[in-house]
Chain A
Amino acid sequence: MKIILNIQRFNPDTDTGPYFQEYGVEADPNERLLDALMRIKRFQDGSLGFRKSCAHGVCGSDAMRINGRDGLACKTLVKDVVEKEGETITVEPLRYLPVQRDLIVDQKPFFTKYRFIKPYLINDEEVEGKERLQSPEERMVFDDTTNCILCAACYSACPVLGEKRGFVGPAAIAQAFRFIADSRDRGRDERLQLLDNKTGVWPCQNHFKCTEACPRSILITKRINQTKELIKKHQR
């Protein structure tokens, strides 16, 4: 079938601001949106800029806004969009991150916030040449949060970041929870302290947009609320 991709373009070397360009392209309904983008790039316009790598939803490179919803181009099938919303698909870069070129955004602010919450196991206790024990139940407490691919779809979907750009954002909090809730970790208090302030967990107003956007089905909003509860319990 023929579809039209209406893509936001911007080249900082030559353009004063972003604009939209339409591309008509043949696409099978069962194809990924990424396949259509690749067909444009390889056979129509090599100057179209976007990131991609694994092409099946595990590397997090191709998060973008597709008809106003944040998601991965490789996990969005053409038919899923076209059947409900027609054959013109609007494609934009993620929000709240500086656009570097077309659909490519500067991920540094996102990763700076991720690094801020100390995203690594904190535990200096000696281990005697084997694994630390953890029951299957303890392991399941934080299971979904380990799926995060740091694609930033949740970050772009969050309405709070539109008003409070300093907000640490959904992904960083979910990753803080991933370690706080890990029975092997000893960094709970320092992470909770990092998040107990006006750029930490408290700006979240339970819009659930992050949870809806997450291509890895992480219950982000729930994890944020659990983190809030832990702060109330342990910090106050």
Chain B
Amino acid sequence: MIRSTPELEIDILHSRGAKGGSLSTAQNIHQKEIHVIYQFDTVIVGSGGAGLYAALEAGQKSKTAVLSKLYPIRSHTGAAQGGISAALGNVEEDKAEWHAFDTVKGGDYLVDQQAVRILAEEAIQAVYDLENRGLPFNRTPDGRIDQRRFGGHTRNFGEGPVRRACYAADRTGHMILQTLYQQCIKHNVAFFDEYQVIDLLLHGSTCNGVVVVELATGEIHTFVAKAVLFATGGFGRMFRITSNAYASTGDGPAVCARRGIPLEDMEFFQFHPTGIMGLGILITEAVRGEGGVLRNRDGERFMERYSPTLLDLAPRDIVSRAIITELRAGKGIRGDGKIDDYLHLDATGLGKEVLQSKLPDISSFCQTYLGIDPAASPIPVLPTAHYAMGGIPTDVHGRVLGDAKGTIVDGLYAAGECACISVHGANRLGTNSLLDLVVFGRRAGRHIADYVRQADLVMPGKDAADEARARIARLTDGGTGPHGGEITDEMQIVMMEKVGIYRNENDMRAAIAAIQALRERYQHVRVQDTGKSFNTDLLELIELGNMLDLCLVTATSAVARQESRGAHSREDFPDRDDGAWLKHTLAFLEQDAVRLDYKEVDTSIWKPKPRTY
């Protein structure tokens, strides 16, 4: 199914003891120390929504490969439930301008406003395009795409909730992922399934490829390309309780950070208010969009006290904080004041029919994991680590920015959750993540298609993969060392407890010290699996290393920001401070230290105002 056979070169000059061969001779790839070089115009790392959309666009005009550590339709885009926002106005009046404003306000004004204008305006055509490609949206009685309410999305600049979220039951992400994968099949996109990226190649300030491990063989390969797009998704696995997949380990941002690319606004990590207690499995905001309400132990609809206008449909950061505040006040269902106490999401008023037609997966999750029927019993919920607002800094074409001046790293792109444009600012609104990956995945793909036409391919030097090779060799050298399991557990607990919803200086300093100690222990870990083929043990250790680096960047960025804004809530600095902190963080990972720089926020359309709902 590969449209153009990859030009596989066994680079005899660069290899150590390599013999000539071709892709079809699999035994060659198994040989030790072989240096296989694949050559493409465009390499896309990650096959979620952003990666697949970019591949569809770039693949029309350039020789494109999609590398993914998972099979494509396993990506976490498929877990997104509630909807994708666009001001179609199918069920009530709506405007892209209102959508853009809601997104800016939802992000507590740490949002680049021209980028958001693009997001909201292109949303409309993006949703129609998905429908035209086959996405089975729920429909209105007259056959149009149906729309429902979601947190923080309002009519006329905050007057009340608006129906803006286009949806396919509570499986909207699944349908987007499936539809895009189907289109990739139709257009013969070349996939390299179960290839894990481990390094980024830069020639001066120009990107010219990536180094990967092939899971099937354990071999290290180089993909040379004129353009590389990272679309590797989020990194919620830094935290103990998360809605994110095991695969959400931030491989793209970590690889970039180790090569000197800054990471933007990493202190902003969203906790979704309603994860299934203990498991963190997402219960979509659409439950509240359809009329579900949060209740404390007294049965009180407590959001009335925190958000008089939007109530349960306030943005997620506000609802998550409200839940923790209730728990601390002893208003949790157990009432013991501990933060692992829980609250009730009451969907019993929706009726069986609405639950079945609009929220069937939620009903199924409740049945499977809790043994309850949400039509009859309230759902026990707690906030769950959900979404990284921060990531690899890009412009509105997906081009990666290498510093606070906005210097473009030629040939390097990022899109989707791993990127920071920034359209989500300090707190993302529900349904805007699917929108982000569709709009900006597509834009990046289009820009790449033009870029590679005029760019020259720079072949990497013979030692290009040496660093990656050394990194893997250290993990697999047969030496003895600790395994990754305990380090993973300790990392997730410290991040959850000390860099979670509420933060303070002492906790975060302690977290940084703990993460540094874990990174030191990581220097001694070794695989237990000594095999080469399908060594998932090795992949997990690579992922752990990536997360440890991102934890350090996150905690360091967070302790520096002495204000509360969006998802970053400081007990010791409870107010937003626009004078000092209306700026984006850029964090540079320099070995074991993080250097911080800052850049301006684009507030060219709406001046920051107090954020009330």
The residues of B that contact A52 with a CB separation of less than 8 Å are 246
The residues of A that contact B527 with a CB separation of less than 8 Å are 46
**8 Å CB interface, B464-513 against A:** 483-486, 488-489
The residues of A that contact B535 with a CB separation of less than 8 Å are 49
A16 contacts chain B at the CB level, 8 A cutoff = no
**8 Å CB interface, A159-185 against B:** 179, 182, 184-185
The residues of A that contact B488 with a CB separation of less than 8 Å are 42
- Chain-A contact segment, one of B34-42, B135-143, B195-203, B450-458: B135-143
Q: Are B139 and A146 in contact (CB under 8 A)?
A: no
Q: Which of B74, B171, B216, B530 is most buried by chain A, counting CB atoms within 10 A of its CB?
A: B74
Q: A13-B532, A54-B76, A56-B79 are in contact. Are A139 and B485 (CB under 8 A)?
A: no
Q: A42-B483, A59-B79, A120-B134 are in contact. Are A146 and B178 (CB under 8 A)?
A: yes
B612 contacts chain A at the CB level, 8 A cutoff = no
Q: Are B145 and A131 in contact (CB under 8 A)?
A: yes
Q: Are B131 and A131 in contact (CB under 8 A)?
A: yes
Q: Are B185 and A101 in contact (CB under 8 A)?
A: no
Q: How far is the CA of A121 from the CA of B369 in the complex (A)?
A: 34
A123 to chain B, nearest CB (A): 8
Q: Are A47 and B143 in contact (CB under 8 A)?
A: no
Q: Are B536 and A56 in contact (CB under 8 A)?
A: no
Give the contact-size bracket for chain A.
35 or more
A55 to chain B, nearest CB (A): 6
Q: Are B70 and A61 in contact (CB under 8 A)?
A: yes
Q: Are B247 and A139 in contact (CB under 8 A)?
A: no
B6 contacts chain A at the CB level, 8 A cutoff = no
Q: How far is the CA of A135 from the CA of B139 in the complex (A)?
A: 6
Chain B residue nearest to A115 (CB atoms) is B185
B52 to chain A, nearest CB (A): 13
Number of interface residues of B (CB under 8 A): 65
B255 to chain A, nearest CB (A): 19
The residues of A that contact B141 with a CB separation of less than 8 Å are 135-136
**8 Å CB interface, A64-116 against B:** 75, 77, 100-102, 104, 107, 111, 115
The residues of B that contact A129 with a CB separation of less than 8 Å are 125, 128
Q: Are A59 and B136 in contact (CB under 8 A)?
A: no
Identify whether the interface residues of A are mostly helix, strand, loop, or mixed.
Answer: loop
Q: Which of B143, B183, B247, B533 is A100 in contact with, Cβ under 8 Å?
A: B533
Q: Which of A42, A46, A143 is most buried by chain B, counting CB atoms within 10 A of its CB?
A: A46
**8 Å CB interface, B163-182 against A:** 168-169, 171, 174-175, 178, 182
The residues of B that contact A51 with a CB separation of less than 8 Å are 74, 536
The residues of A that contact B537 with a CB separation of less than 8 Å are 41, 46-47
Q: How far is the CA of A185 from the CA of B125 in the complex (A)?
A: 21
B184 to chain A, nearest CB (A): 9
Chain A residue nearest to B186 (CB atoms) is A120
A156 to chain B, nearest CB (A): 16
The residues of B that contact A233 with a CB separation of less than 8 Å are none
Chain B residue nearest to A76 (CB atoms) is B368
Q: Which of A61, A102, A185 is B74 in contact with, Cβ under 8 Å?
A: A61
Q: How far is the CA of A150 from the CA of B174 in the complex (A)?
A: 11
Q: A13-B531, A54-B245 are in contact. Are A121 and B76 (CB under 8 A)?
A: no
Q: A53-B246, A56-B79, A130-B128 are in contact. Are A146 and B175 (CB under 8 A)?
A: yes
Q: Are A121 and B128 in contact (CB under 8 A)?
A: no
Q: How far is the CA of A23 from the CA of B153 in the complex (A)?
A: 50
B78 contacts chain A at the CB level, 8 A cutoff = yes
Q: A53-B70, A120-B186 are in contact. Are A43 and B485 (CB under 8 A)?
A: yes
Interface string of B70-91 (1 = CB under 8 A from A): 1101111011000000000000
Q: Are B136 and A146 in contact (CB under 8 A)?
A: yes
Q: Are B534 and A49 in contact (CB under 8 A)?
A: yes
Q: Are A46 and B483 in contact (CB under 8 A)?
A: yes
B281 contacts chain A at the CB level, 8 A cutoff = yes
B600 contacts chain A at the CB level, 8 A cutoff = no
A200 contacts chain B at the CB level, 8 A cutoff = no
The residues of A that contact B484 with a CB separation of less than 8 Å are 42, 46
Q: How far is the CA of A139 from the CA of B144 in the complex (A)?
A: 11
B13 contacts chain A at the CB level, 8 A cutoff = no
**8 Å CB interface, A15-62 against B:** 30, 32, 41-43, 45-47, 49-61
Q: Are A60 and B145 in contact (CB under 8 A)?
A: no
Q: Are B134 and A182 in contact (CB under 8 A)?
A: yes
A193 contacts chain B at the CB level, 8 A cutoff = no
Q: How far is the CA of A217 from the CA of B361 in the complex (A)?
A: 11
The residues of B that contact A47 with a CB separation of less than 8 Å are 528-531, 537
The residues of B that contact A75 with a CB separation of less than 8 Å are 368
Q: How far is the CA of A57 from the CA of B365 in the complex (A)?
A: 9
The residues of A that contact B186 with a CB separation of less than 8 Å are 118, 120
- 3 closest A-B pairs by CB: A42-B485, A121-B134, A46-B528
Residue ranges of B at the interface with A (Cβ–Cβ < 8 Å): 1, 70-71, 73-76, 78-79, 125, 127-128, 131-134, 136-145, 168-169, 171, 174-175, 178, 182-183, 185-186, 216, 245-247, 279, 281, 361, 364-365, 368-369, 483-486, 488-489, 527-537, 540
22 contacts between A and B (CB under 8 A): A41-B485, A47-B528, A47-B537, A55-B245, A57-B364, A58-B171, A101-B531, A104-B536, A115-B185, A131-B137, A131-B145, A133-B144, A135-B139, A135-B141, A135-B143, A139-B136, A143-B169, A148-B178, A149-B78, A149-B174, A150-B73, A182-B134
Residue ranges of A at the interface with B (Cβ–Cβ < 8 Å): 11-14, 30, 32, 41-43, 45-47, 49-61, 75, 77, 100-102, 104, 107, 111, 115, 118-121, 127, 129-136, 139, 142-143, 146-150, 179, 182, 184-185, 217
| Additional A-B contacts beyond A57-B365, A131-B145 (17; CB < 8 A) | A30-B369, A42-B488, A43-B486, A47-B537, A49-B529, A54-B74, A58-B78, A101-B531, A120-B133, A131-B128, A132-B131, A134-B139, A135-B139, A146-B168, A146-B178, A148-B178, A184-B134
